[in-house]
Structure 1
Amino acid sequence: MRAIRRFTVRPALPEPLAALGDLASNLRWSWHQETQDVFATVDAEAWKRSGKDPVKMLGEVSPARLTELAGDKKFRKRLELAAADLDQYLTGDRWFQQNAGDDAPAAIAYFSPEFGITSVLPQYSGGLGILAGDHLKTASDMGIPIIGVCLLYRHGYFRQALSFEGWQQETYPVLDPDGLPISLLREVDDTPVKVAIDVPGDTLVARVWVASVGRVPLLLLDSDVEENSLALREVTDRLYGGTTEHRLLQELLLGVGGVRAIRAYSRINGSPAPEVFHTNEGHAGFLGLERIRELSVEESGPRLDFDTALEVSRAGTVFTTHTPVPAGIDRFPRDLVAQYFGSTSPTPGVPVDRILALGEESYAGGDRGVFNMAVMGFRLAQRANGVSLLHGHVSRGMFNGLWPAFDEDEVPITSITNGVHAPTWVAPEVLTLADEVGADLDSEAADAFDVVDKIPGKKLWDTKRVLRQRLVDDARARLRASWLKRGAATAELGWIDNVLDPDVLTIGFARRVPSYKRLTLMLRDPERLKALLLHPERPIQLVIAGKAHPADEGGKKLIQEIVRFSDDPEVRHRIVFLPNYDIAMAQPLYPGCDVWLNNPLRPYEACGTSGMKAALNGGLNLSILDGWWDEWYDGDNGWAIPSADGVDDPDRRDDIEAHALYDLIESEVAARFYDLDPSGLPVRWLEMVRHTLKSLGPKVVSSRMLRDYTERLYVPAAQTSRLVNHDYKGAAALADWKQRVRAGWPAVRVDHVESAGLEDVPEMGGVMELRAFVSLGDLAPDDVDVQVVHGRVRGEDDLVDQVAQSLTLTENFEAGRYRFDGRLTLSRTGPFGYTVRVLPRNELLATPAELGVVTLA
């Protein structure tokens, strides 16, 4: 017999233990070791059985044990201190309150399709979600007033298992919201808050759950409510699942419904309304349409025209793109989007033709039959960024078509390199070592980690062995469970007791399994890999994990190839594939590895933060120069796998890079790891570990990332938003100005440029006088910035290392013709060139490229 309904009964805690409920309901416990220690003290076995889930654990603790703890003065004191510490954490001033200044935003809304906070709240699939989770945790630690918005997926992503033949199998266990560390958002009369959006022929309703991520509320929209039809109840069934139309419904609920959920949350809690909206990837891009509706259609709003409302919304919006792979961008059929925003639109009153124009690939090579969510994201946000320097460069190339008049390096997409939340990912033993020598994991100082030189080499090496042993134990337990699920008998699994060795060089590789990440590059020459695994003096061992998307048959085949290789009795004690990669697996995996391997097809790794987590745990990176590693590899903090850029044959490229990988492991990585001094320490290896921590520590932490977002994007967005928002006149004027400039720009031209003052042979330090005669048509000189752009010349007179310098208006002729003058000092030798250009100029523009127009001489 099966139950027709399931739910979780939470325990009634004795009054002296009420604080346990408060500690369990705030997800700060997931990165706060002292709080976890309190839960472990309640019942160590139940804590372990629950997978370190305090809500689940408290449901298993017997009433007798709770009564015993209620009478234990020592435990009650410990609980009291933990509760007081949480209260101080939630209410005290932190970095933001002390440093952000008066221009800082009162609140920031951060939308993402997934958030990886903890394995007990499985609302993530991979790097995007883990990054979003680290973003919220770090914002909490720093006191940044962020509100997160996501969907509550009733089945999460999926649980991965393996068949006997090594084929990925997916299951979708039902998550009971009452058993999760979340609570319903309720009105003051205790009724649950619900948001609704119109869809063709129906209304999609969702209730709102709240997860407390330290100081940060995370709002989770759930469509599994009685008001919905069966089809609409399934909208929030699983992450990245379903048909194209299903995905569209999810993204409408996330974007449009998410804004409405935030409005309800702010109203109920009396908290400031967000001044900045941050769209983490394009999935939540429809939030911009809802904000336009609020401003242009909502009866209680200012009733602005569409263009003015667009400028108000854009001013306070930040868009982060995460993929350098076009296939990773959501693109919906244009006709489907037109259908959904037709007569029963989720944003009624917003013109469907203007909506379609926002997502149109209206550039050379674009497909006008699709609606591109990333393109809409860029058009609805005044500020945009990629997630590493190289990814910023790649993104400017990918989306150059939106700003065709500009060279790639002037496309208005900046970069903020990702970081990782150290308290989540650094092993407690490593944190203890850091505390003992006074290392500050949140310091901005470049020399913050130099104190690691004070850690004795033996202590550092012994700590890494402890972490390696923990990984070995965890891997054996997971491997045994996997084989039992694959159909093996307990009696034939004795060999697992000898899988992996805590004294062998351990290399980790774990990530999602799209083809460009090249899970099987290590298998290009199986015999060469076997030789490395079984080397009699310098063996290596590999711990591998990763999920393929359920619809990605190619990715599943790659997993099967790895599994079949690791099943070979000759090598299975040296290489393991662990199914169901998640946060719980990752936390012992990163610290337990000596080397973190990353071999994507360059330049398709946007950032790749797993190697950062390994580095903070004293691991060394062995990676293709892609993502963050291209930016921060310095020759001594790991190894760069040579990349065969320019080789068009993919098989030949893989062969070249695989053999380069084998050579590096054999001749450099393993050789250094096993190079021991008379006391048994790998001195040169430990030198690299220390240098890695010193060179990368201050860069890879997410506190650096959040400072960058705050100072470079959030504060400027809030400032601009206030300029256009305080009475909307600024936004209306900006919208009118943009229309006037776009209409008048065809008449703008550079008629003539004169130069004087140089000798026949120009010399460094010489000064050139410039005069530019410019026609502006109906535009005024204040509408434009006339610049001389100079730099080195290469190829066919292409300017590189460009420097732009504004010229000054000196003379006004008839018929809209003007003269602009300037002086140019020759500050470099070699081939030199210059040109003159005219750009739009307005103090409310985030960048001169915003309108996408420029006139060159």
Structure 2
Amino acid sequence: MKKRSTPSMPTPTSQAPVVTAPDLSSRSIAYFSMEIALAKALPTYSGGLGMLAGDTLRSAADTGAPMVAVSLVHRRGYFKQFLDANGQQTETDVPWSPDTLPTAGETVSITMQGRTIKICAWRFDVVGVAGHIIPVFLLDTDVEGNDPFDRRLTDHLYGGDTYYRLCQETVLGLGGVTLLHKLGCEPAVYHMNEGHAALLALGLLEDRLAPGAALSTATENDRLAVARQCVFTTHTPVPAGHDQFGLDQMYAILGQERGKALERFGCLHNNLLNMTYVALRFSRWVNGVAMQHGKVSQQMFPDYHVESVTNGVHAATWIGPELQNVLDEEIPRWRHDNQYFRSVYGIKPARIANAHACNKRKLVEEIAARTGEHFDQNVLTLGFARRVATYKRASLLLEDPKRLLKIAQKIGGLQIVFAGKAHPADAAGKGLIREVFEIAGKIKSNSLRIVYLENYDWELGATLTQGVDVWVNTPRRPYEASGTSGMKAALNGVPSLSILDGWWIEGCAEDVTGWAIDDGDTDAAEATSLYDKLEQRIAPLFAKPNSWARMMQHCIAMNGSFFNTDRMLGQYFANAYFPQAPAADATPETESEAEGMAISTSPKLQEPALV
């Protein structure tokens, strides 16, 4: 599987332009995320979490939401992936310069590691369909006068060791709150997108106290008041996804006063600073990212009430241009209101199928350019592209190579496209990539073609979800929190063949929007179900173009109209940001009043939901 290396990222060098900032005084919601996918050319994201954050802000811009966002600049990106002929992954930095972006116009300072650190920020404007702007501030510690170590803190997304990570999260939380307040932005709601942003609560707690007052004077009433401002979304049931730090690092980075405050307010778990528990203790609303994930998270954190808001994707970002043209002609209101996807039933299925054929042709051309492999436009093509982690089981599709080859020969050919990055420190994930290469090399033939495309990113993700015929997802239950790639495929009329976990529990209508891989006690049993569905249900339907086009119509109408960030953001507004509750500016005067206002997620104030 020969690879074509991707071009290196251009590094802009011009001076930052002077651009008028939106009025921040009216922005009532601050969205904090360690990673945000803002533009294809900016390496400020690693995968699904960053994509979700970017799609959320794009829908916020489309709907005129009063939001502002904060992240880090990540000057050297996540990483560019290279794969050799055996599937061995190596990585290089993706350096970029934010100098072409406008600045925030202010520099702030925080105390960390016993010294002062200066933080500047760059502004990226997310512009909506009607011109509304969501400003995103990218914090940057590469400021003259800072310690050399501190200047590198905003270089690498998820890079370095745990000490580096806690420093980054301190910059995000404390620096972000400080910057917004200096810019005149006083949000009523702070949304922590995963626990990386949890230390913003510490910044709010410090701001609540009288000038010069020690954190040791903060009361439970103060904690509850901060919690009234905060919303927390947890994104994973995988333990490694919940950041934990030793107490020595906590005290070294945050200092004695802050460390003792976090201890006193119950933010430690198993004698470690646990960022998820920081967020839980300082939030009035906590949610998982799918119905099932909400239930799993409730079991993980039984002392807290956990809701769910199922993720979505930004339709206009992920639908292929040919299909967008069809939708613009037939149901132009879809860009302003994604519920109009239900009206796709008024479009002839053949028009949808023709648009998909254009997308598939582009995918075939991209595969040929990258690998030299020539896929057949008319052969059933499966796609599997995810962050490579062991629980996602990238090789399950190849569990029984002999049967897979027999199926390919029986149905007139089968093509499979893999993609995905393993974290540089994840040896097991890298091993999975090599395993896919090894098996594919042994069984590929004229009937069965398999490729693994390197450097899975925004652009490749769009090409794949728009161009394959079936999207495959094989996580080990119950570790899939949501899984948004299948939603992107559905918006393009592509059905899924997936394990019933995450979003697919809600999105699977068997033989209508796709197929469920039956639960089994072993990988082999679940692979057998996958092969059975492929051979007995999927291939025969694919051989009937009119019936297949009708299924594509169902995917868009049924799943596209729900699994989008317009709907998701509306649920956050109605249920999390501004629910029927006391006014946001009502400050509790007494301890009992504070408890009454607070908060289903505070321990013991409400019984956890049954699961």
- Given candidates 835, 844, 849, the residue that maps to 2:597 is 844
- Given candidates 234, 244, 247, the residue that maps to 2:165 is 247
Matches within 5 A, 1:654-803: 654-675=523-544, 682-716=545-579, 719-724=582-587, 730=588, 732-733=589-590, 735=591
Once residues 7 and 126 of structure 1 are traced to their aligned partners in structure 2, the CA distance between those partners, rounded to angstroms, is: 22
For the pair 1:260 / 2:135, whether they are aligned, the reply is no
| Residues 180-210 of structure 1 deviation map (CA, whole Å, 9 limit, x = unaligned) | 5x22222xxxxxx222222234322221111
- Given candidates 322, 330, 334, the residue that maps to 2:247 is 334
Name the counterpart of 2:401: 526
Change (3 A) 1:685 1:334: same
Once residues 130 and 399 of structure 1 are traced to their aligned partners in structure 2, the CA distance between those partners, rounded to angstroms, is: 26
Matched residues, percent identical? 38
Say if 1:114 and 1:125, in contact at 8 Å, map to a contact too.
Answer: yes
AA aligned opposite 1:438: I
Name the counterpart of 2:323: 430
For the pair 1:391 / 2:293, whether they are aligned, the reply is yes
Name the counterpart of 1:357: 264
Name the counterpart of 1:281: 194
Tell which has more relative contact order, 1 or 2 (C-alpha 8 A, sep 6+). 2
Residue 145 of structure 1: how far off its partner (Å): 1.3
Once residues 8 and 690 of structure 1 are traced to their aligned partners in structure 2, the CA distance between those partners, rounded to angstroms, is: 43
Name the counterpart of 2:488: 613
AA aligned opposite 1:154: R
Once residues 342 and 300 of structure 1 are traced to their aligned partners in structure 2, the CA distance between those partners, rounded to angstroms, is: 16
- Given candidates 122, 129, 135, the residue that maps to 2:56 is 135
Once residues 146 and 329 of structure 2 are traced to their aligned partners in structure 1, the CA distance between those partners, rounded to angstroms, is: 56
AA aligned opposite 1:184: T
Say if 1:151 and 1:222, in contact at 8 Å, map to a contact too.
Answer: yes
- Given candidates 103, 108, 121, the residue that maps to 1:195 is 108
Runs of 5+ in structure 1 lacking a partner? 1-5, 13-20, 27-86, 92-104, 187-192, 267-271, 344-349, 404-410, 480-495, 648-652, 676-681, 725-729, 739-841
For the pair 1:413 / 2:276, whether they are aligned, the reply is no
Once residues 234 and 213 of structure 1 are traced to their aligned partners in structure 2, the CA distance between those partners, rounded to angstroms, is: 26
Say if 2:509 and 2:515, in contact at 8 Å, map to a contact too.
Answer: no
- Given candidates 450, 455, 472, the residue that maps to 1:597 is 472
Give the SS at the match of 1:385.
strand
Change (3 A) 1:854 1:265: closer
Give the SS at the match of 1:722.
coil
AA aligned opposite 1:8: P
Residue 658 of structure 1: how far off its partner (Å): 0.9
- Given candidates 374, 378, 381, the residue that maps to 2:276 is 374
Give the SS at the match of 1:699.
coil
Name the counterpart of 1:161: 82
Once residues 843 and 315 of structure 1 are traced to their aligned partners in structure 2, the CA distance between those partners, rounded to angstroms, is: 11
Once residues 687 and 477 of structure 1 are traced to their aligned partners in structure 2, the CA distance between those partners, rounded to angstroms, is: 32
Say if 1:337 and 1:356, in contact at 8 Å, map to a contact too.
Answer: no
Give the SS at the match of 2:138.
strand
What RMSD, in angstroms, separates the aligned Cα atoms of the two structures? 2.9
Once residues 146 and 484 of structure 2 are traced to their aligned partners in structure 1, the CA distance between those partners, rounded to angstroms, is: 39
The number of aligned residues is 591
Say if 1:418 and 1:702, in contact at 8 Å, map to a contact too.
Answer: yes
Name the counterpart of 1:70: none
Q: TM-score, normalised by structure 2?
A: 0.90
AA aligned opposite 1:642: D
Give the SS at the match of 1:716.
coil
- Given candidates 624, 637, 643, the residue that maps to 2:513 is 637
Name the counterpart of 2:3: none
Matches within 5 A, 1:78-477: 106-178=27-99, 182-186=101-105, 193-214=106-127, 215-266=133-184, 272-298=185-211, 305-343=218-256, 352-358=259-265, 360-361=267-268, 367=270, 369-400=271-302, 403=303, 411-438=304-331, 440-441=333-334, 448-477=340-369
Change (3 A) 1:228 1:532: farther
Give the SS at the match of 2:586.
helix
Say if 1:441 and 1:701, in contact at 8 Å, map to a contact too.
Answer: no
Instruction: Out of 379-388 and 431-440, give the one that drifted further.
Output: 431-440
Residue 300 of structure 1: how far off its partner (Å): 11
Say if 2:600 and 2:606, in contact at 8 Å, map to a contact too.
Answer: no
Say if 2:401 and 2:443, in contact at 8 Å, map to a contact too.
Answer: no
Change (3 A) 1:436 1:428: same
Mark the structure with the bigger radius of gyration. 1
Once residues 695 and 420 of structure 1 are traced to their aligned partners in structure 2, the CA distance between those partners, rounded to angstroms, is: 14
AA aligned opposite 2:598: L
Residue 453 of structure 1: how far off its partner (Å): 2.8
Change (3 A) 1:591 1:515: same
Once residues 719 and 149 of structure 1 are traced to their aligned partners in structure 2, the CA distance between those partners, rounded to angstroms, is: 27
Residue 323 of structure 1: how far off its partner (Å): 0.6
Residue 685 of structure 1: how far off its partner (Å): 1.4
Give the SS at the match of 1:626.
coil
Say if 1:295 and 1:303, in contact at 8 Å, map to a contact too.
Answer: no
Give the SS at the match of 1:115.
coil
Matches within 5 A, 1:16-55: none
Residue 854 of structure 1: how far off its partner (Å): 7.1
Residue 291 of structure 1: how far off its partner (Å): 0.7
Residue 263 of structure 1: how far off its partner (Å): 1.6
Instruction: Out of 302-311 and 658-667, give the one that drifted further.
Output: 302-311
Once residues 234 and 375 of structure 1 are traced to their aligned partners in structure 2, the CA distance between those partners, rounded to angstroms, is: 28
Change (3 A) 1:228 1:415: same
| Residues 631-682 of structure 1 deviation map (CA, whole Å, 9 limit, x = unaligned) | 23222211000012xx3xxxxx11110111111111111111013xxxxxx2
Once residues 698 and 570 of structure 1 are traced to their aligned partners in structure 2, the CA distance between those partners, rounded to angstroms, is: 38
Residue 358 of structure 1: how far off its partner (Å): 3.7
Residue 115 of structure 1: how far off its partner (Å): 0.3
Say if 1:545 and 1:580, in contact at 8 Å, map to a contact too.
Answer: yes
Residue 296 of structure 1: how far off its partner (Å): 0.9
AA aligned opposite 2:262: I
Give the SS at the match of 2:376.
coil
